[in-house]
């Protein structure tokens, strides 16, 4: 019987794992190397080894209603996209509300996690930690690894011939904190991910000129979508997800292109992705197109070569007098405290069942939480992971045989390459709702809009056409929360509240769209039933 669970790390993944352990009646102990909670989201002026490091201005790219935990909405007056300090505040409120701090041993680093000699029967682990120079060994029934994957910089210097001659300054994006010291400089940012775009935009306000070099291009989206709602509330609905899964590829590609180019033409701005079908690397940035239009940032292709002061690009063009190169080239990950026979990282890849469990252990008592990059918010994702894992630990859910798990891992990987491409940066990428539903199905908490159609049509419509928020996974099954339905219906209020800082008279609306949606859902149901026959 699993009772004592070790949680490694007190970032978001660690905190939610703690909460899920408590919810399931397990006894967790969390080891956190630093002196505080929050992991990546606790900004520090310094760049510390073994810890994620963010720039001062980081704002979430997933909205508050799509990023909160399933039984605890963010405070009504919190903005929809949160500055890192505000998100940390939410995590502090969560930790206090669920009384999680008492389980955490701070400034305690995990050195090793090893199977006990009787592992085949007990499933137990021996964990060695160090605190204040003192080592200690403790036995646990199960382990949740929540150590994060934005810690080790990926710095592909070998792809930049001549870098050793370069006279200017160069560093990985994790070293970047704010604009001071970059005034009047000519700066080259390598990469076109979220961090690269943020840093290029921010520096362009002070620098003489910023260049952004990209091999493959990217779709760039605004945080602001239809009617000014957060992008993810419009993008991540079950209806939209169903369309993306069932439409023929060519139609989907065409639709994606139309959607992405609504704001500005990616072709004209030199950003168009090489493979336009792939869903990868949607960059969320409200300012990049405007910076490009103003000429403060310029897009360049891949760097072919560097000299003392010049960058030579693939297309033969050159930019001279470069002072600074920022490598926003992403991260790699490793688990220095785990044996290779437990979790093996090879070519930046791991083989984990449903991105969580090593398939080859005799007992499923070790899980990796948060080793994933969903197209939506990671917070509800790690929450469902932790809910499932704690129930597997308790034998309330069981895993299939090793061969079935291996086959699933291979299939998942093929599907990922098909959807997101082979690039190294896409190795942890997953679909959003599909993955959430997959976990929810295992736990028994997946909501079914169709079965609700007669009983609670209003809710059914919301579930299918509304944003797929985490509350949806608290409506039925284990861990049900009586506030879930109401949280779904009061969502709009919490979205608008922080914007209503100047009161205006409300106007009335006729619920025509509601009627249309009911009819639409019925049509889909009928279509589905006909197909079954
Ligand atoms: C710039 C940036 C912006 C992002 N924005 C978003 C966003 O808007 N929305 C979103 O959904 N996701 C976003 N992400 C993804 C991000 O991965 C998650 O938001 C999340 O913070 C990951 O949390 P974590 O707990 O898994 O890891 P971390 O936050 O890195 O926490 C890991 C913790 O484990 C501790 N630790 C590590 N090793 C040990 C050890 N051996 N012993 C003891 N303790 C240890 C560390 O000290 C740390 O506290 C962003 C990522 C980056 C880099
Ligand atoms: C948000 O930004 C982080 C950091 O670049 C990235 O890992 C994550 O995938 C982004 N999320 C979405 C939904 O685009």
At residue 389, what are phi and psi to the nearest 5 degrees?
Answer: -60, -45
Quick one: tokens of 446? Answer: 């997946």
Residue-level pLDDT at 155: 95
Closest CA to 432 of 352, 371, 357, 373: 373
| 380 CA from centroid of ligand 2 (Å) | 14
- How far does CA 349 lie from the centroid of its chain? 17
Residue-level pLDDT at 200: 98
Q: Measured in Å, how far apart are the chain's first and last C-alpha atoms?
A: 46
Quick one: tokens of 329? Answer: 């080239």
What residue ranges define each of the domains in the chain, with the CATH number in brackets? 4-151+332-441 (3.50.50.60), 155-222+263-329 (3.50.50.60), 448-532 (no CATH)
At residue 486, what are phi and psi to the nearest 5 degrees?
Answer: -65, -35
| 61 CA from centroid of ligand 2 (Å) | 6
| Residue to substitute in 378, 381, 384 for testing ligand 1 pocket (most ligand atoms within 8 angstroms of CB) | 378
Q: What is the pLDDT along the chain (533 residues), one digit of tens a residue?
A: 889 999 999 999 999 999 999 999 999 999 999 999 999 999 999 999 989 999 999 999 999 999 999 999 999 999 999 999 999 999 999 999 999 999 999 999 999 999 999 999 999 999 999 999 999 999 999 999 999 999 999 999 999 999 999 999 999 999 999 999 999 999 999 999 999 999 999 999 999 999 999 999 999 999 999 999 999 999 999 999 999 899 998 898 888 899 999 999 999 999 999 876 666 668 999 999 999 999 999 999 999 999 999 999 999 999 999 999 999 999 999 999 999 899 988 877 889 999 999 999 999 999 999 999 999 999 999 999 999 999 999 999 999 999 999 999 999 988 888 888 777 777 788 889 999 999 999 999 999 999 999 999 999 999 999 999 999 999 999 999 999 999 999 999 999 999 999 988 776 666 777 788 888 888 888 887 887 76
Distances (CA, A) of 161 to 101, 191, 216, 327, 482: 49, 17, 19, 14, 60
Closest CA to 35 of 20, 22, 46, 24: 46
Which of ligand 1's atoms lies nearest the C-alpha of 54? 1
| Nearest protein Cα to ligand 2, atom 6 | 194
Q: Is the CB of 193 under 6 A from ligand 2?
A: yes
| Nearest protein Cα to ligand 1, atom 53 | 150
Helix (H) or strand (E) holding 403, with range, is helix 402-420
Q: Is 434 helix (H, G, I), strand (E, B) or coil?
A: helix
List, chain by chain if needed, residues with CB within 6 Å of any ligand 1 atom: 8-14, 31-34, 39-41, 51-52, 54, 58, 60-62, 67, 109-110, 146-148, 150, 195, 337, 370, 377-379
Quick one: tokens of 384? Answer: 């469902």
Q: Is the CB of 194 under 6 A from ligand 2?
A: yes
| 427 CA from centroid of ligand 2 (Å) | 13
| 284 CA from centroid of ligand 2 (Å) | 8
Residue-level pLDDT at 510: 65
Query: What contacts 463, CB < 8 A, 6 or more positions away?
Result: 238, 447, 449, 452, 472, 488
Please state, in angstroms and rounded to a whole number, the distance separating the CA atoms of residues 314 and 270.
Answer: 14
Residue-level pLDDT at 269: 98
| Nearest protein Cα to ligand 2, atom 3 | 194
| 52 CA from centroid of ligand 1 (Å) | 7
Residue-level pLDDT at 187: 98
| Nearest protein Cα to ligand 2, atom 2 | 194
Q: Is the CB of 368 under 6 A from ligand 2?
A: no
User: Given the structure tokens 């704690």, which residue do they identify?
Assistant: 390
Please state, in angstroms and rounded to a whole number, the distance separating the CA atoms of residues 56 and 34.
Answer: 19
């Amino acid at each position: 019987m699993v009772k004592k669970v070790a949680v490694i790390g007190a970032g978001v993944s660690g905190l939610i794992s703690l909460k899920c352990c408590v919810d399931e009646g397990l006894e967790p102990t969390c080891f956190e190397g630093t002196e505080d909670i929050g992991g990546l989201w606790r900004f520090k002026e310094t760049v510390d080894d073994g810890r994620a490091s963010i720039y001062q201005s980081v704002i979430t790219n997933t909205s508050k209603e799509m990023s909160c935990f399933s039984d605890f909405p963010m405070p009504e007056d919190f903005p929809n996209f949160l500055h890192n300090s505000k998100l940390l505040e939410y995590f502090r409120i969560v930790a206090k509300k669920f009384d999680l701090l008492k389980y955490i041993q701070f400034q305690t680093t995990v050195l090793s996690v090893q199977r006990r000699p009787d592992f085949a029967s007990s499933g137990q682990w021996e964990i060695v930690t160090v605190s204040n120079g003192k080592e200690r060994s403790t036995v646990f029934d199960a382990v949740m690894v929540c150590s994060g994957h934005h810690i080790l910089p990926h710095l592909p210097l070998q792809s930049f011939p001549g870098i050793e001659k370069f006279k200017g300054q160069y560093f990985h994006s994790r070293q970047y904190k704010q604009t001071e010291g970059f005034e009047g400089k000519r700066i080259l940012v390598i990469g076109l991910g979220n961090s690269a775009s943020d840093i290029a935009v921010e520096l362009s306000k002070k620098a003489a000129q910023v260049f952004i070099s990209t091999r493959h291009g990217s779709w760039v989206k605004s945080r602001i979508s239809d009617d000014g709602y957060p992008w993810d509330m419009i993008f991540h609905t079950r209806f939209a997800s169903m369309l993306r899964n069932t439409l023929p590829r060519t139609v989907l590609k065409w639709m994606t292109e139309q959607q992405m180019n609504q704001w500005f033409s990616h072709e004209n701005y030199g950003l168009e992705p090489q493979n336009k079908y792939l869903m990868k690397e949607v960059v969320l940035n409200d300012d990049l197109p405007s910076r490009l239009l103003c000429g403060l940032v310029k897009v360049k292709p891949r760097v072919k070569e560097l000299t003392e002061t010049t960058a030579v690009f693939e297309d033969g063009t050159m930019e001279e007098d470069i002072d600074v190169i920022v490598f926003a080239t992403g991260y790699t990950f490793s688990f220095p405290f785990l044996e290779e026979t437990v979790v093996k990282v090879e070519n930046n890849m791991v083989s984990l069942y449903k991105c969580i469990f090593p398939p080859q252990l005799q007992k499923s008592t070790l899980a990796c939480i948060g080793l994933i990059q969903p197209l939506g918010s990671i917070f509800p994702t790690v929450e469902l992971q932790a809910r499932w894992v704690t129930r597997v630990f308790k034998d309330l859910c069981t895993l299939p045989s090793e061969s079935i798990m291996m086959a699933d891992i291979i299939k998942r990987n093929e599907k990922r390459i098909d959807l997101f491409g082979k690039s190294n940066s896409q190795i942890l990428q997953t679909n959003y709702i599909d993955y959430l539903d997959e976990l929810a199905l295992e736990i028994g908490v997946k909501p079914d809009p169709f079965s609700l159609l007669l009983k609670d049509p209003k809710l059914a419509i919301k579930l299918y056409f509304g944003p797929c928020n985490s509350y949806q996974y608290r409506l039925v099954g284990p861990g049900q929360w009586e506030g879930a339905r109401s949280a779904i219906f009061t969502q709009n209020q919490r979205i608008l509240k922080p914007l209503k800082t100047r009161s205006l008279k409300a106007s009335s609306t006729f619920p025509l769209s509601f009627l249309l949606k009911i009819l639409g859902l019925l049509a889909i149901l009928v279509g589905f039933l006909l197909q079954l026959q």
